[in-house]
Amino acid sequence: MEETKLNMPLLGDDFPELKVQTTHGPMNIPGDLKGSWFVLFSHPADFTPVCTTEFVGFQKLYDEFEKIGCKLIGMSIDQVFSHIKWIEWIKEKLDVDIKFPVVAANDAVALKLGMLHPGKGTNTVRAVFIGDPKGKVRLVIYYPQEIGRNMDEILRAVKALQLADGKGVAVPANWPNNGLIKDHVIIPPAKTVKDAEARKKQKDCYDWWFCHKAL
């Protein structure tokens, strides 16, 4: 019996090419998203409580993702008519209109993204992939089926990646509410002895390798 290969996309890799059917029609990922940041998130199954809370959570922040040029795409291995019916149920029962497309994946697609973990049964895990405008994988998180995601953290991560790319800085823990430097960002450490000595005298430096600044 042939062993099933589990692919795990790595940070910096090209996002795997996927030709999929969605609730908004056929889509090529990441080709159709070129020039845009995107968050592709998988859920174990339609018509399940935790997944429903997640879809509502993502939709509540839909406009915030749009403001920063980031597209949301849901995904599971349910068929597209199941997605459509579930979205209708969410609209009817919870008065939330899901605006983002939902991919009807198959096992081949799920395996490309490492979404089917043998130790967690046959459903897809709660995977989160953040892709950049060049179609590169920039962040990957896998959650077990029993734990729902934090959408605010995913939005924060996209903003932090955009900031790091645009300003050439690093972003501290819990940014923009870090316990040490609040909403400041971290500047790259000194690369010469002369610069290191100068940094020690600067106001916003704990040491030459730990300096921060306001945006």
Q: Which of 22-26, 70-74, 84-88, 201-205 has the lowest mean pLDDT?
A: 201-205
Point out which residues pair with 104 in neighbouring strands: 21, 76
Active site residue 211: no
What DSSP assignment string belongs to 112-161?
HTT---GGG-SSPPEEEEEE-TTSBEEEEEEE-TTS---HHHHHHHHHHH
Question: What pLDDT score does 3 carry?
Answer: 45
- In this prediction the pTM is 0.90
12: number of CA atoms within 13 Å, CB side?
0
From 51, 70, 205, 211, active-site residue: 51
- In which residue ranges of the chain is CATH 3.30.1020.10 found? 169-215
Question: What pLDDT score does 112 carry?
Answer: 75
Strand residue runs (E) in the chain: 18-22, 25-29, 37-42, 70-76, 102-104, 126-131, 137-143, 185-187, 205-207, 210-213
Question: What pLDDT score does 84 carry?
Answer: 97
What is the distance between the alpha carbons of residues 156 and 35, in angstroms, rounded to a whole number?
20
Q: Which residues contact 83 (CB under 8 A, 6 or more apart)?
A: 23, 46, 74, 76, 102, 104
CATH of domain 169-215: 3.30.1020.10
Q: Which residues contact 63 (CB under 8 A, 6 or more apart)?
A: none
Point out which residues pair with 142 in neighbouring strands: 127
CATH class of the domain comprising 18-149 = alpha beta
What is the distance between the alpha carbons of residues 132 and 157, in angstroms, rounded to a whole number?
12
- In which residue ranges of the chain is CATH 3.40.30.10 found? 18-149
- One-letter amino acid at 1 equals M
Q: What does the angle CA 95 – CA 74 – CA 66 come to, to the nearest 5 degrees?
A: 75
Q: Which residues contact 210 (CB under 8 A, 6 or more apart)?
A: 186, 189
Q: Which of 45-54, 88-97, 124-133, 159-168 has the lowest mean pLDDT?
A: 124-133
Q: What is the mean pLDDT of residues 12-17?
A: 93
